Structure 1
Amino acid sequence: MTVEYRGPQTLIQAALAAGEDPAAKARSLKALHQRWAEGTRIPEVVRPVVARSWSRAGALEKDIVPLDAMAIRDLRESNEELTSLVGLFKERLLSLATQAGNQLVISDGQGYVLWVLGPSTVRRRSDGIGFVSGARWRESDVGTNGIGAAMAEKVPVQIFGPEHAREEQHSWVCTSAPVLNRATASLVGTITLAGSFRTAHPHSLALVSSVAHEAEAALQAQHSLKLQRLELTNELPDGEFILTDPQGLVAASRGYSVGGHINLPVGLEEGHFWIAGLGAVDARQAAGGWIFTKTQHQLRLEMSSETLRQVIVHSHEGSTQISLSEKHWQIVNMLAKHPLGLGAEQLKSLWPASTPQVTIRAELSRLRAKLPGVIASRPYRLVAPIVRNSGL
């Protein structure tokens, strides 16, 4: 019997039930691992999270080559979010890990191990399998393991004994939880309790999950404070605008319907841009971020071939390719043929006759959200001139 509990967002499954014999469990898993390693079929009794990881990673035998000390230091210093949480991880986990004969491992969003803390006896064992600072432990590097599986699944994961892909890890249990930036849904890092498989316990999974969510809440509080300071230290323009930090987290806005995060273009500079989610904007640097306002600069649209089904939005600063579904392509194509615009009733010909009007309007709303500032309503029409490439 496995132990399951619900974390804040998902159902999490421990590898071992309380009181279950680790040695017997390892023997049963060894046979399953051997069947998988010798063929391509994964036995049905393998836990789903492990089966998915085995399927993704395969039985890798790559050499593990850690980064040097200088590269490790650079990664630590450049990852301000993760570094700010190390004290919390030590306070919540290190003492308990040591008492249980485990080590605390902190890795970054790329899978690089940056801190290995805990009993020297455990660290010496982990040195022997390359589980050291500077090593990268993604599934694509070392096969199924706690860090890699937690990174891929974006949920806490416990990998026990022969559930690991590589045989040298079969004497270990690794209980890992990802730490996410909730504002951007990006992976900040992963925390892991690792030790002999004989120390496995379902409570370890609950513990790392709880600490990971505490860390995420701390990051959220940090970001909220930074965004408040950003709003207070900038003189905001009249009219419609959006103020963001350098990562695109929204500190303040007026007249825009946006969420808490905008995907900013790589290498953003001051000038005229078309930004997905905003439309045509003027971008200028603020104190600690960016301010975007609506621009009067002209846009030009290009429709690619029907095979590609793309609209290319050309602005003064460059071009943005927007992939479209078949239905969205049909709508844009029809609007391009009617520059004065069409009502929803006229566009209805693109759907079966029985399609409700509310369905059509909802699809049009989704398309306008995908191409903000490009399609006006009442009637629906393209607001920028459109050209077709030679492939049409």
Structure 2
Amino acid sequence: MTPVRTPAAQSLQAALGASVDPLGYARQLLPLHRAWSEGARIRSEVRPVIARSWKRAPGRGGESRLLPEDQLAARRRGNQEMSILGELLGDRLLPLAGQAENQLVITDGEGYILSVRGPRAVRRQSDGIGFIPGARWREADVGTNGIGTVMVERIPMQVFGPEHAREEQHAWVCTSAPIVNPATGALVATVTLAGSFRTAHPHTLALVSATAREAEGELLRLHQLELDELRSAVDGPGGRYVLVDGHLAVAASRGFDCPARLPVPGGLQEGNVWVRGLGAMHAAPVPGGWLLRPVAERVVLELCSGPVPKVVISVGSERTEVPLGWRHWQILELLARRHQGVDADGLAELWPGPVSAVTVRAEVSRLRAKLGGIIAARPYRLTVPVVFSC
């Protein structure tokens, strides 16, 4: 019988409900894992989040890469987020880890284990399966597991017993959550409580998830302080401008309707640059970030088919390259040849068969997200001069 989960457990991807016997549930999962590992179709009883992982990382995965001690030490020193959050994570989770005979495992954003803390008995057991500092635990390395699967799914979840790809991990439950830096949107860490599958409980997942959210909140608070310092350092420039930090997060602006972070392909460098939604801007470095002001430089769009299609946006002498998929290249080429503009029906001729206007508009929307104000709508048309090259 499939265990019944509470709504909270479902939203957090708990492996089983509080009243479910872990041993009995593990026995239910074993034939499902065995069938999958032998190449059979994944059964519907498998949790969707686990089924997706089994499809992504069939079999046992590859081999976990182990960093030399000097490289591990360098990663620890260079991980600014974990130097900030390490104490918070330990304070919130180590007491439960000790009581539940679990260990606290923290990785960086690439899946390398930075630290393992907890009861010695649990540590001795985890050493035997390579769950040690310096090891990398992506799905591609060791198959379905709490760390690697959370890195892909970006949600708090448990991986229980035979849901793990490798049989030597079937005695374990891993309760994991991702930590994303709000300033960059990048995954900077995962935090996991790992122990015997008999210790599995949805409350563990709630605590790990809440701790990860608290960690992200702390990173956001510190980032807001950095933005405040940037605003203070560049006080009230005249005219229209946008002030951003090194992550392109907007600290202040005048005369522009800006998103929280600027979309700039390839990042900023001093000089003229095309910024989606803003147009041609001059970027000048300031302490802690960049000051952007509008410029009247001529903008030209260069279409280059080549082996890999791309466009080059030229603002004066500055050039920004944007790689394109083949469909986006075709759309731009058609727009370049039809100066009067094209509606969705006109663009539909690029598809080999019948296609809905909704599909066409969605594809153009994705292209406009790359190029911004270069493509106008109603009808779709290019707003800057175009040249063909390559």
Is the TM-score greater than 0.5?
yes
Q: 1:241 to 1:21 in 2, by over 3 A?
A: same
Aligned match of 2:90: 90
Name the stretch that deviates more: 61-70 or 225-234: 61-70
Q: 1:379 to 1:209 in 2, by over 3 A?
A: closer
Q: Deviations over 1:76-121 (max 9, x none)?
A: 2222122211111111110111110000011111111111111111
Q: How far apart, in 2, do the equivalents of 1:63 and 1:86 lie?
A: 28
Give the C-alpha shift of residue 277 in structure 1: 4.7
Aligned match of 1:49: 49
Q: How far apart, in 1, do the equivalents of 2:343 and 2:44 lie?
A: 49
Give the C-alpha shift of residue 221 in structure 1: 1.0
AA partner of residue 177 (structure 1): A
Q: How far apart, in 1, do the equivalents of 2:113 and 2:254 lie?
A: 42
Q: How far apart, in 2, do the equivalents of 1:46 and 1:195 lie?
A: 22
Name the stretch that deviates more: 374-383 or 88-97: 374-383
Q: 1:332 to 1:256 in 2, by over 3 A?
A: farther
Q: 1:321 to 1:62 in 2, by over 3 A?
A: closer
AA partner of residue 283 (structure 1): A
AA partner of residue 319 (structure 1): T
The answer to whether the Cα contact below 8 Å between 1:4 and 1:13 also exists between their aligned partners in 2 is no
Q: Deviations over 1:126-155 (max 9, x none)?
A: 111110111111111110000111111110
TM-score by length of 2: 0.85
Q: 1:15 to 1:369 in 2, by over 3 A?
A: closer
Aligned match of 2:261: 261
Aligned match of 2:282: 282
Aligned-partner SS, 2:261: coil
Q: How far apart, in 2, do the equivalents of 1:62 and 1:334 lie?
A: 46
Aligned match of 1:321: 322
The answer to whether the Cα contact below 8 Å between 1:336 and 1:386 also exists between their aligned partners in 2 is no
1:296 aligns with 2:296: yes
Q: How far apart, in 1, do the equivalents of 2:378 and 2:385 lie?
A: 18
Name the stretch that deviates more: 182-191 or 206-215: 182-191
Q: How far apart, in 2, do the equivalents of 1:325 and 1:128 lie?
A: 48
Aligned-partner SS, 2:159: strand
Q: How far apart, in 1, do the equivalents of 2:363 and 2:173 lie?
A: 48
Q: Deviations over 1:19-50 (max 9, x none)?
A: 32222211221111111101141111111111
The answer to whether the Cα contact below 8 Å between 1:270 and 1:283 also exists between their aligned partners in 2 is yes
Q: How far apart, in 1, do the equivalents of 2:50 and 2:345 lie?
A: 48
Aligned match of 1:356: none
Q: 1:48 to 1:267 in 2, by over 3 A?
A: closer
Aligned match of 1:3: 5
Give the C-alpha shift of residue 328 in structure 1: 9.8
5+ unaligned residues in a row in structure 2: which ranges?
A: 349-359
Give the C-alpha shift of residue 241 in structure 1: 1.5
Aligned match of 1:213: 213
Q: 1:30 to 1:276 in 2, by over 3 A?
A: same
Aligned match of 1:35: 35
AA partner of residue 179 (structure 1): I
The answer to whether the Cα contact below 8 Å between 1:3 and 1:13 also exists between their aligned partners in 2 is no
Q: How far apart, in 1, do the equivalents of 2:83 and 2:219 lie?
A: 11
Q: How far apart, in 2, do the equivalents of 1:32 and 1:361 lie?
A: 42
The answer to whether the Cα contact below 8 Å between 1:330 and 1:350 also exists between their aligned partners in 2 is no
Q: 1:229 to 1:336 in 2, by over 3 A?
A: farther
Query: How do 1:112-131 residues align onto structure 2 when only pairs under 5 Å count?
Result: 112-131=112-131
The answer to whether the Cα contact below 8 Å between 1:5 and 1:13 also exists between their aligned partners in 2 is no
Aligned match of 1:202: 202
Give the C-alpha shift of residue 2 in structure 1: 3.5
RMSD: 3.3
AA partner of residue 59 (structure 2): A
Q: How far apart, in 2, do the equivalents of 1:170 and 1:379 lie?
A: 58
TM-score by length of 1: 0.85
Name the stretch that deviates more: 54-63 or 42-51: 54-63
Name the stretch that deviates more: 271-280 or 217-226: 271-280
The answer to whether the Cα contact below 8 Å between 1:310 and 1:329 also exists between their aligned partners in 2 is no
Q: 1:167 to 1:321 in 2, by over 3 A?
A: same
Q: Deviations over 1:313-346 (max 9, x none)?
A: 23423232264896996587446543xx77xxx8
Name the stretch that deviates more: 20-29 or 191-200: 20-29
1:165 aligns with 2:165: yes
AA partner of residue 320 (structure 1): E
Give the C-alpha shift of residue 367 in structure 1: 6.9
1:189 aligns with 2:183: no
Aligned match of 1:76: 76
Give the C-alpha shift of residue 185 in structure 1: 2.6
User: Aligned residues: percent identity?
Assistant: 48
Q: 1:29 to 1:366 in 2, by over 3 A?
A: closer
Q: How far apart, in 1, do the equivalents of 2:347 and 2:374 lie?
A: 22
Q: Deviations over 1:319-377 (max 9, x none)?
A: 32264896996587446543xx77xxx8687489xxxxxxx999999876653453579
Aligned match of 1:180: 180
